[in-house]
Every structure is written in structure tokens, then in C-alpha cells.
Amino acid sequence: MNEIKLLEKILPDLKQDKNVFLGPGDDCAALDLGTGDLLLAAVDQLISSVHYDRSTTVPRVVGAKLLKRNLSDIAAMGGKASWALLALATNTADDKYLLEFYDGLREAAEKFDISLCGGDFSSLPKGETGEVASLTILGIVERDLMCCRSGAQVGDIVFVTGALGNSYESGRHLTFEPRLAEGRFLATGAYVNAMIDISDGLLIDAQRLAKASEAAVMLELGHIPVNADATLKQALGDGEDYELLFCVPADKAEILRKEWAFETALTSIGEIRANPPGEVTAPDGEDLSKRFKKGYEH
Amino acid sequence: MNEIKLLEKILPDLKQDKNVFLGPGDDCAALDLGTGDLLLAAVDQLISSVHYDRSTTVPRVVGAKLLKRNLSDIAAMGGKASWALLALATNTADDKYLLEFYDGLREAAEKFDISLCGGDFSSLPKGETGEVASLTILGIVERDLMCCRSGAQVGDIVFVTGALGNSYESGRHLTFEPRLAEGRFLATGAYVNAMIDISDGLLIDAQRLAKASEAAVMLELGHIPVNADATLKQALGDGEDYELLFCVPADKAEILRKEWAFETALTSIGEIRANPPGEVTAPDGEDLSKRFKKGYEH
């Protein structure tokens, strides 16, 4: 059973109290604190020999990435990140490696003003090398500003930040900047009907947004910002870009372009259509998930 | 470098924002939400072949324990637990095992009214079996009711819930009940100057409370409630009891005994003294950590 099937089996059975404003299935859960604001919470793992090659990756950037990929989840909700908790399992006797990992995490925390306020440290079973790290990120968002995957409306313009593709091979999956400031700007300006971060690839994450919004994401392939060292296929299929994908009402798109003061590129790549709900299509309606699954390279 | 040395090296460098009311070093961090209440947060791991034997432990109780040991941390702060996030890394193709693990976690969550509101699921490196699970627990406590390890006052009576020792061999480390109701009763009744849960053993955890409170914990060995299948040495040294150890002003101790309506045993086992600060002693002042480290069995 893969993750998706497992979650399909588990999630419907999980009872959520009324103090859960938004449960599993978005970039963060949103918890009702009984005040005007919501608490955002998400957890993500980084595992050596699964998510990075320990022999070629310096521990400092691994520690930083662990935090940054979680910050990207807060960014996608339009929230402010504040606190993090770390769980680390390792047998390494290499103190230098461990301390560098922590230094990377600590430096990233300081840069983004995150308090690393709790943690747990354990051994792995005897003979197992490497490390299993998980980080829980906590943040705050105003109830009326929160951006979810659902909420895209027919006619919305679909935007993406930055450029996409070849993140893993190029090392950008380690050096990327989470789009916290951009996400917060989009939320506080009330520009956005729906938002998601691109962690598993544009096509997959666009489809998640489409499914959550019960609408179609139409992409104009020629408009997609592709990294100089990547192909269009990589821009569509590769994960780990950590850019934001979001939907803006047509009458706000021009204002957004004018007000966008970030160095980060802002590109419109399509629009929201009614049909087919839950799918990602080309302008002529062709199912792009199907086309690129078949290995067809545009 | 072991966990304690590593943390000694790392923790002083971690900057905590002013919105962190209580940082690393207690059972939970307490985060200032800008309202009257504090958010409690803690993370703990359960790892097969480290914390339990996968061949003899049914996955249902492992899932339940993962939540319960975190609930014990909320109990020790006097808080109300509300939300949990799970990170699970495993290669198991044994769907039945995984689903039973989740069932155990889900059933415990329902029993204690916890919403499992987020998670992450990953593979382990190829060839590695078993699972690495971490759970983050979130709860709420009123600022003026929170119970910390610090705060014990000279003359306080030291109490413990339940009975101690031989938790691992007996299987009680899996079947224990977190003392949430008891902890909450103690907090709301303002009975407690300091509290901690006994996860690493009475002597170790009493010393943590002593150090945080800059006072001595005097224990009367003859008063310690020892499980029927355990020795006094086990009651002092074994971990995984998940009972509460707490300090009550002498003038409240009698009221507490009267008002205590739980089936859980309540036993006074000593008192707080001024000297030697940070130590656990017998009535004659003997250093108990030293005596029992030497393997002397009373």
C-alpha cells in the first residue's frame, strides 16, 4: 500500500474535534484557538538515503532544508511561522556532523525568526546509519486571510512564483528560499482564492488544488517558467521546487502584477475552468497528467 | 556525545522569541499566543528495536503508546491535550501491521479526545525494516495554572501517583494510563508548586525537578509505592512509569488527600529541602543518585 492508498484508508476514520478548523489534506492543519486567529501546524521528515545522499550533502544544508520545507507549508497558507519542534533519530558518533546539522537548522531558524522550542533525540536500531529527522512547524494566520487549496473559482488566473524543474540534480532542493514573504503578501492583500506549494511537482500539486477546489486547472505550457537547466517535462514533473501556485480573481490580477515588489518572478500560467473538475488540462482540454505520465515530452 | 551532552552544547545557542513563554527543558514548551492561555507543545519518538520489540509487541499498543507518552507530558504541565501530528517512516509492506498501528493510535486519540490533524509518511532507506515514528502533541493551559519542573519550595510535600518499577518487563510501559485527569485536577486546584512525569525513572526525574527548582528532593525510601512485581531499586531506577511526581505546599497536602477522588493511588514520598540544591537525598542527607548508581540495593 503506498502513502496515498494508506491515507485514503486512514483519514476518513480520524475524528476531528470542532476546534480543528481545517483538518488533514492541506499544506497545514488550522486549529481554532478560540481567538480570532488560527494555529497552523504541519510536520515533514528528512531521511538520509531517501531524501538526500549523506555522502555528498553537507549536514548544514540538510538541517536548514528540514526547516525550510516546513516553512514552505506555512507560506502556502499565507501564515506567519513562529515555532518548531525537532525529532531526530541517529546513531552517528560523528559529533561534527551532528553539530553542523544543528547549526544549519539554527541558522535557518534565526533567519526566519523561528524559535526551535522543543525536541526529542533518540538512537536508531543498532547497525543502522544515517538519520531520520522530523520537524513540526507552528504558525499563526488570521482566520479571514488563510489560503487553502480549495476555493479556486472559475475564471481565476493561475500564477506561480519563481521557476521550476531540475531542483534535485541542481541542488536547488537544498538552497531554495521558502516563499514566506510572498505568501504573506498574497494573504494580507487578499489576492488569493486558493494556494498550494509545489513540493511534489507542478502537475501533481496543481491537480491537488484542482481536486480540493472541484475545478480544472488549465495550464498554458508555453507560459510555464522553466529553470535554465531544466526541460519543460522536468518543470511539470519534478518535485522539490517549493514555489507557490495560486489562483487570483481576474479583476485582481493586474493589481497584483503592479504591487508585486519581490525579486521572485511572478508568472501567470493558466486559468481555472469548470471542467473537468479535479483535472489539469491544456487550453484545448487535453488531460496533461495523462500526457506526461505517458512520457511524452513536449 | 550522548543526548545530554549534545543538548548542553546546542540549547544555549537556540534563540527563543519573546512569544516562547517556556522554552526547551521542561515536559512541554509553552508558547504565548497573545491571549490569556498558553499553547503546550512536545514531541516524542517510538522506534522499533529501540523502544519496543517488533516481534513481540502488537502494533495496536505501539500506536497507542506513541500518543499516551506524549499525553503524559501534557499531564505533567497541568494542561488539556487537544491535537496531534504524526510522522511515520517505514518500509513495511505489511498493510495489516500498519493499519493496526493506526487503529491503536486512533483509538487512543478518541479515548482522550485528541484530533490527529496532520502527518507525514515516508519510506526508510532500502533494506531497513521496522518503523520510526514521532508524534507532536499540542494542548492548552491557562497561564496561571501551568505546572513546571521549577517552582518547588522548601517544605513542600513530594507526592507520586500510582506505583513504580518494572514497567518494561511487565508490559505496563505499553498499557499505562496517562495521568491527564489527575494532572488537570492538580493544576486547576492550584495544589502544585512543581510537577514532572516519571519517564526516565524516579531518581532521574526527581533530580530534574530538583535542578530546575534549585532545591533538594528528599525521599523516604520506605514510602515509595513499589509495584508488586518490582524491587525498590527498580522503582527508583526504571523508566517508563509515566506517573506524576509533584510538590505540594504542606498546608495544602491534607486538603489534597481529602479531595483526591481518583482510583489512582496518591502517596507522599518525601519533602523539598534547601540543600543540597539539585540533588535527591535520603532523610539523613545521603545522595541517593550516588548510592543507587553504585548498584547498592536497599
Assigned domain for B170 exists: yes
Are A132 and A214 members of one domain? no
A19: contact with B, CB 8 A cutoff? yes
Cβ within 8 Å, pair A119-B39: no
pLDDT: which is higher, A25 or A114 = A114
End-to-end Cα, chain A, rounded Å: 32
Assigned domain for B147 exists: no
Are A81 and A195 members of one domain? no
In this structure, are residues A78 and A146 in contact, taking their beta carbons and an 8 Å threshold? yes
Q: In 3D, which of A148, A130, A176 has the Cα closest to residue A30?
A: A148
C-alpha distance from B12 to closest chain A C-alpha (Å): 11
**Residue B131: strand pairing partners:** B90
* pLDDT of residue A297 exceeding 50: no
Assigned domain for B76 exists: yes
pLDDT at res. B297: 41
In chain B, the residue whose alpha carbon lies closest to the alpha carbon of A47 is B124
C-alpha distance from A19 to closest chain B C-alpha (Å): 8
Mean pLDDT of B34-43: 92
pLDDT at res. A92: 79
> How far apart, in whole angstroms, are the C-alpha atoms of residue B92 and residue B48?
12
* pLDDT of residue A1 exceeding 90: no
Looking up residue B275, the CATH number of its domain turns out to be 3.90.650.10
> How far apart, in whole angstroms, are the C-alpha atoms of residue A250 and residue A266?
15
B94: contact with A, CB 8 A cutoff? no
Are B172 and B232 members of one domain? yes
pLDDT at res. B207: 97
Question: Which H or E run includes A102?
Answer: helix A95-111
Are A164 and A123 members of one domain? no
Are B130 and B185 members of one domain? no
Assigned domain for B116 exists: yes
Contact residues on chain A for B51, CB-CB shorter than 8 A: 122
Are B117 and B161 members of one domain? no
**Phi then psi dihedrals of residue B290, to 5 deg:** -65, -45
Identify the domain boundary among B142, B176, B192. Answer: B142
Residue B66, classed as helix, strand or coil, is helix
Are B270 and B223 members of one domain? yes
**For the segment B125-172, what is each residue's pLDDT rounded down to a tens digit?**
998 889 999 999 999 999 999 999 999 999 999 999 999 999 999 999
Hey, which residues 72-91 in chain A have their CB within 8 Å of chain B? Answer: 82-83, 85-87, 89
* pLDDT of residue B295 exceeding 70: no
pLDDT band at A294 (very low <50, low <70, confident <90, very high): low
pLDDT at res. A295: 45
Is the ipTM higher than 0.85? The answer is: yes
Assigned domain for B234 exists: yes
Instruction: Compute how many other C-beta atoms are within 10 angstroms of the C-beta atom of residue B185.
Output: 18
* pLDDT of residue B24 exceeding 70: yes
* pLDDT of residue A181 exceeding 90: yes
**For the segment B230-264, what is each residue's pLDDT rounded down to a tens digit?**
999 999 999 999 999 999 999 999 999 999 999 99
pLDDT: which is higher, A293 or A50 = A50
Assigned domain for A148 exists: no
Least confident stretch, A208-217, B36-45, B60-69, B92-101: B92-101
A161: contact with B, CB 8 A cutoff? no
Contact residues on chain B for A132, CB-CB shorter than 8 A: 89, 124, 132
DSSP 8-state code for residue A46: E
Mean pLDDT of A190-195: 98
Q: Report the percentage of chain B scoring pLDDT > 90.
A: 85
Least confident stretch, A36-40, A93-97, A149-153: A93-97
**For the segment A228-265, what is each residue's pLDDT rounded down to a tens digit?**
999 999 999 999 999 999 999 999 999 999 999 999 99
Identify the domain boundary among B142, B174, B191. Answer: B142
pLDDT at res. A63: 96
C-alpha distance from A84 to closest chain B C-alpha (Å): 9
Hey, which residues 27-56 in chain B have their CB within 8 Å of chain A? Answer: 28-29, 31, 33-35, 37, 39, 41-45, 47-51
> How far apart, in whole angstroms, are the C-alpha atoms of residue B243 and residue B196?
9
pLDDT at res. A2: 67
Backbone dihedral region for residue B48 (phi beyond 0: left; psi -120 to 50: alpha; all else: beta):
beta
Contact residues on chain A for B85, CB-CB shorter than 8 A: 29, 41-43, 136
Are A181 and A288 members of one domain? yes
Assigned domain for A230 exists: yes
Looking up residue B114, the CATH number of its domain turns out to be 3.30.1330.10
Question: Helix A180-188 and helix A59-76: axis angle, to 10°?
Answer: 10
pLDDT at res. B13: 80
C-alpha distance from B262 to closest chain A C-alpha (Å): 26
A288: contact with B, CB 8 A cutoff? no
* pLDDT of residue A291 exceeding 50: yes
In chain A, the residue whose alpha carbon lies closest to the alpha carbon of B35 is A35
Contacts of A83 (CB under 8 A, 6+ apart): A114, A115, A116, A117, A137, A138, A139, B19, B20, B29, B31, B41
pLDDT at res. B298: 38
> How far apart, in whole angstroms, are the C-alpha atoms of residue A22 and residue A130?
35
User: Which range marks the domain in which residue A201 is found?
Assistant: 157-293
Mean pLDDT of A57-76: 96
* pLDDT of residue A296 exceeding 50: no
Are A75 and A179 members of one domain? no
The answer, yes or no, to whether the previous bond of B283 is cis (omega within 30 of 0) is: no
Are A81 and A197 members of one domain? no
Are B120 and B12 members of one domain? yes
Identify the domain boundary among A82, A116, A142. Answer: A142
Task: Report the domain count for chain A.
Answer: 2
> How far apart, in whole angstroms, are the C-alpha atoms of residue B261 and residue B142?
23
Are B207 and B177 members of one domain? yes
pTM for this entry: 0.94
pLDDT at res. A14: 87
**For the segment B71-117, what is each residue's pLDDT rounded down to a tens digit?**
999 999 999 999 999 999 998 877 888 999 999 999 999 999 999 99
Assigned domain for A152 exists: no
